[in-house]
Amino acid sequence: MNNRSAIQPSEQQIAKKARLKRYALYIPILVVLLFILVFRSDNLLTLAGQALVMDSPLSPADAVVVLATGVEYYPRLIEAAQIWRKGFAKQIIINGNRKTDTVRKIEDMGFEPACHWCEDHLRILSIFDVPENKVQCISAEDVYDTVSEAEFVGDKLLLQGYTKLIITTSKFHSKRAYHIWNDLFQQKAEISVVSAKEDPFQPDAWWKSGRQVKWVLAEYGAWIYYYWKKTTDLQD
């Protein structure tokens, strides 16, 4: 037996260590947020909520892109419709049609969706007088987070000649979304972000709602993971 191969960690051990390392990154920010929650300083809690929200000054753009990862999607659609109606975007870009292995398996068994994946989104936009020919639907089956969404959707739009984009997403997700899109395309496209005004997130009272506490904790954790991933990728 090769001694070297005998002491090499298995794939399961490598995956376990990677998970532990990833989870460990969340600990510092969770401790800080829990500390703030315990002492219930409303000023600190408000600052923690406000730090996640961003709104760029609006100016005419080629399109407004509705991010589909995360929660509270319909407020984002409404915001995109309002931006289009005000004349700040020529088109609305939506993406979706996510596929998992299970979905693909049941499709192979004969499952067919009742309607096209973007049909409901188009109907909602039509309520706000957005004609269907002003909406582009991008099927992004393997997108699973904000980074992969930006890479897949953004690259397609760049190939189509879009150079100025407005991103709309949930309030608590707006600053990180802007940072990711701007980081990826700063030399290729001008990026701005507008948070969805119908979104229920309350920066000055988020700690009073269980689901909003979950959003804030997850968002700060996602910030840490993003920078850790970026740093380790650079090292590799």
What CATH superfamily is the domain 61-195?
HUPs (3.40.50.620)
Domain boundaries of the chain, sorted by first residue: 14-50+208-235, 61-195
pLDDT at 23: 57
pLDDT at 209: 94
Q: What is the pTM of this model?
A: 0.82
pLDDT at 70: 83
Q: Read off the pLDDT of residues 11-33 as tens digits, 9 standing for 90 and up.
A: 555 555 555 555 555 666 666 66
pLDDT at 232: 75
Residue numbers of the chain with a pLDDT score lower than 70: 1-41, 234-236
| HEC string for 13-75 | HHHHHHHHHHHHHHHHHHHHHHHHHHHCCHHHHHHHHHCCCCCCCCCCEEEEEECCCCCCHHH
pLDDT at 1: 45
CA pseudo-torsion sign 198, 200, 201, 202: positive
